[in-house]
Amino acid sequence: MDIQRLIKIDGADVLPLDLLLPLDHELTGILGERAKIIWQGTTLSIVTLSGLRTLKRLRGSAQDRADLDALGPDSP
């Protein structure tokens, strides 16, 4: 997965945005299940919570493991 991170800074507000580009056929499914939301009049596609957990498990960095702990247990 190629990840391009964009950061918008507006005063004290910081908005990070990760653009995910699958390089592996298996990861395409995660992006295929994205949720679409409307934010400030624009449609955004975001990975589901399940997809986010999968991406964090695949990467497995210390920060990703901490993020998974903070997210709590998987829903049944």
* Mean pLDDT of successive 10-residue stretches along the chain, which has 76 residues: 89 88 82 90 91 89 95 82
Q: At 45, which amino acid appears?
A: S
pTM: 0.65
Quick one: angle between helices 25-32 and 49-59, nearest 10?
150
Going by the DSSP 8-state scheme, the letter that residue 24 receives in this structure is S
> Rounded distance, CA 26 to CA 35, Å?
18
The domains of the chain are located at 2-71
Q: Kindly state the tokens that stand for 9.
A: 């800074």
Considering only CA atoms, which of 10, 47, 7, 53 is closest in space to residue 30? 47
Going by the DSSP 8-state scheme, the letter that residue 34 receives in this structure is -
